[in-house]
A and B are shown apart, each in its own frame.
Chain A
Amino acid sequence: MFLKTVRAAFVSSMPVLMGYLTMGMAFGILLATQVKGANGLTAAVMSFFTISGSMQFAAVDMLRSAEDYSLFLTAVLALVINIRYAVYGLPFLRTFRPYPRPLKYYLIGALTDETYAIETQDRRRGRDKRLYLFCVSFFDHMYWVAGSVAGAVLGNMIPFDTAGIDFAMAALFIVVLVDLCRDRSNHIPAAVGAVVTAAVLGVFLVFFPGHFNKLLLPAMIVTIAILLALRKKLQSPAEVRE
């Protein structure tokens, strides 16, 4: 029974294996080549405690020009980039409630897009489900950490010129955006974010050249304001839950 469940969890996590290993490696390479003094340990700590691709790729850019980021600004950016996690736990509120604390906290802390997708589809019950959920979370978590560390070690050994490799960050965000845009309801919010950022960028280009990394906060404030104003229009009746 025990081994059978562990094996089932491993099989479920297989599609995530390659994705997390390679994406983790991309993150590690980027971190090691862009941030001075970053190594396998840095990558391990970040990946172990954060487990969020978009957050960690954005973190590389922020750490690179760390002097421009106060801890407050860092917290605000992290909050907005990861706001979706605030609703991820909802389907599991009841499931996790009777679980022992350490297990419950781990399952909550390790919840990512991919793990969420696997775990919400599971129909198991009782002890078997506990073990299954833990194994899926743990396997996915370890793939991500392992990939990141390998990438960081590799990144510190790359002998050739890595100028331009930081475009991988832009590429990752483009990939995430393209996938989000397969859902029509994301089009308008995405357009708002893009247009506002482009406008703020234009202002910075003219008035504060060389300070691009300060534009995210104003762009974010304007975007949130517009999205709040558009709430009635964007929230379709189907999405309003009673």
Chain B
Amino acid sequence: MTLHQWLMISVMALVVILLRAFPFLLLSGRKRPPELLFYLGKVLTAAAIAMLVVYSVFGVMDYPASGWTALPRALLAGTVTALLQWFLKNPLVSIVSGTAVFMLLR
């Protein structure tokens, strides 16, 4: 762990803490918060998670050792994860099964 990594960890924690404190810091409780905040809070969450899904699934192509060959099993493992979560609604089962599929198909 380098100093820069510890600073990154601090920055991330600070941003999350400030976000949680945001309504208490800026809004008096009587005034309605800006409508734009509600809108962004809702749509940006779904958009950001979808972004991270695409990034992390296709990101497997960026590994020097695997490259393109990792993509098919990443797509398969991702589909398995999504289907399990959709029907069983058990995050642990979905994540462990999906990761196992990806690791074992090598």
Contacts and interface: CB of A to CB of B under 8 A. Distances in A.
Interface of A: 18-19, 22-23, 26, 35-38, 42, 45-46, 49-52, 54-55, 58-59, 61-63, 66-67, 69, 71, 74-75, 78-90, 93-94, 96-97, 104-105, 108-109, 111, 163-165, 167-181, 185-186, 189-194, 196-198, 201, 205, 209-210, 212-213, 215-216, 219-220, 223-224, 227, 231, 234-235, 239-242
A19 B1 CA distance: 28
User: Which range contains the number of B residues in contact with the other chain?
Assistant: 35 or more
Interface of A is mostly: helix
14 contacts: A26-B95, A61-B56, A67-B4, A87-B37, A163-B103, A165-B103, A167-B102, A171-B94, A174-B57, A179-B85, A181-B46, A186-B46, A189-B44, A215-B55
B8 A205 contact: no
Contact of B1 (A42, A169, A185, A240): A42
Contact of A49 (B17, B42, B103): B17
A108 B16 CA distance: 11
Interface string B8-40: 110111011101111110010100110111111
A133 B79 CA distance: 38
A240 B38 CA distance: 9
Given A54-B52, A83-B19, A93-B24, A170 B44 contact: no
Contact of A212 (B5, B37, B59, B91): B59
A111 B20 contact: yes
B67 to A, nearest CB: 10
Given A174-B78, A223-B48, A224-B40, 19 more contacts: A26-B95, A38-B1, A45-B9, A46-B13, A75-B11, A78-B15, A83-B48, A104-B24, A108-B20, A168-B98, A170-B56, A171-B77, A171-B98, A174-B85, A174-B98, A180-B49, A193-B46, A223-B51, A227-B40
Contacts of A234: 39, 43
Contact of A163 (B49, B91, B106): B106
Interface of B: 1-2, 4-5, 7-9, 11-13, 15-17, 19-24, 27, 29, 32-33, 35-62, 64, 74, 77-78, 81-82, 85-86, 89, 91-92, 94-95, 98-99, 102-103, 106
A54 B74 contact: no
Contact of B78 (A170, A189, A216, A239): A170
A148 B62 CA distance: 27
A212 B62 contact: yes
Nearest to A220: B51
Contacts of B36: 231
B16 A177 contact: no
B39 A231 contact: yes
A63 B8 contact: yes
B74 to A, nearest CB: 7
A192 B49 CA distance: 11
A113 B83 CA distance: 23
